Amino acid sequence: MIMTLDNIGEMTLEECEKKLDELLDSDDAEDEDIIALYTSMGDKAKGEGEFEKSKEYYMNALTETLMKYGESSVEAGDAAMNAGNGLFNISDYETALEYYTKALETFKETSPDDCDRITVAMRNIGDCHFYSENYEEAVDCFSAAMDFLRTKKSEDDPAFYRLYSVMAETLSKMEKFEEALGYYQKGFDIKKKFVESDMDLMEDYEGIGKCCEKLGKNEEGIEAFSKIVKAIKETMPEMDFLAKEFQSHIDAMKEAISKQ
């Protein structure tokens, strides 16, 4: 394969590294090409599970981007987001938070109407707080992201699904199961419109089922877990051990109902 940046998506990580060496040794290399290569290498390393290497490539891309475009640019915001992703993937949530925050500030300055970039940055900040077990801060971030998104899109837009899901998970961690159930249900109502089978809704059914179980809403919990068991048996029989795990929850809730 002739290695040009036109086929960068087809290049292996090793080929990208060789191409980068060529560019860095060249006197007429374009800054945009170096940035594109570093970014692509970060993506490829991440895909191969080499998260430390991925982080370094994203950091190099950010350095090159800042030199080329300056801090007050959408390009700098995107590069900071990638750097944050690299740090997040090695569980350095505190430092990732700094880069996501910088990206958010940049997007608000350079592209205040860019709903997707701003919402993702806000959600990523919330994710950092979530994985750092700062659940109150995570809730505040996800709420702010929802408030912003509502100014741009209707609440049945698929963009809300991810926010509802992480909000529900966070509230569950805080043992606020009634509120969590509401968000799981909101997310489910959106997601079911654009998936083909119950297999695609397993995580949603699981969240709903577990909240119902905690709240003593046994009939609703049984219904949710039964959907999972049925989907596993029909499409993934090799995962029968997982079906048995959910069946145990169903059996426990049936027993609770029988004692009422």
Nearest Cα residue to 121 out of 61, 81, 160: 81
Question: Tell me, what DSSP letter sits at residue 207?
Answer: H
Q: Kindly state whether residue 247 falls inside one of the protein's structural domains.
A: yes
Question: What's the domain range around 212?
Answer: 184-260
- Model confidence, pTM: 0.89
Tokens matching residue 151: 């100014």
Q: Are 119 and 149 in contact (CB under 8 A)?
A: yes
Look at residue 31 and tell me whether its pLDDT is greater than 80: yes
Helix, strand, coil percent values for the chain (each to nearest 5): 80, 0, 20
Q: How far apart are CA 158 and CA 180, in angstroms?
A: 19
Q: How many domains does the chain have?
A: 2
Q: What are the φ/ψ torsions at residue 194 (nearest 5 degrees)?
A: -130, 20
Structure tokens at 157: 């837009």
pLDDT at 222 over 80: yes
Residue 144 has a CB neighbour count (10 Å cut-off) of 15
- Evaluate whether residue 178 is within a structural domain: no
Q: What is the pLDDT of residue 99?
A: 98
* Final residue belonging to a domain, choices 46, 69, 92: 69
Q: Do the Cβ atoms of 48 and 76 come closer than 8 Å?
A: no
Which residue, 35, 69, 103, sits at the end of a domain?
Answer: 69
Measured between alpha carbons, how far is 184 from 92 in angstroms, rounded to an integer? Answer: 28
Q: Crossing angle for the helix pair 202-215 and 218-235, nearest 10 degrees? A: 150
pLDDT in tens, 116-172: 999 999 999 999 999 999 999 999 999 999 999 999 999 889 999 999 999 999 999
Domain assignment present for 206 = yes
pLDDT for 86 equals 98
Residue 64 lies in a domain: yes
Task: Look at residue 172 and tell me if it is in a domain.
Answer: no
| Residue 86 resides in a domain | no
**Domain assignment of residue 150, yes or no:** no
At 7, the pLDDT band (50, 70, 90 cuts) reads: low
Residue 17 falls inside a structural domain: yes
Which of 47, 69, 91 delimits the end of a domain?
Answer: 69
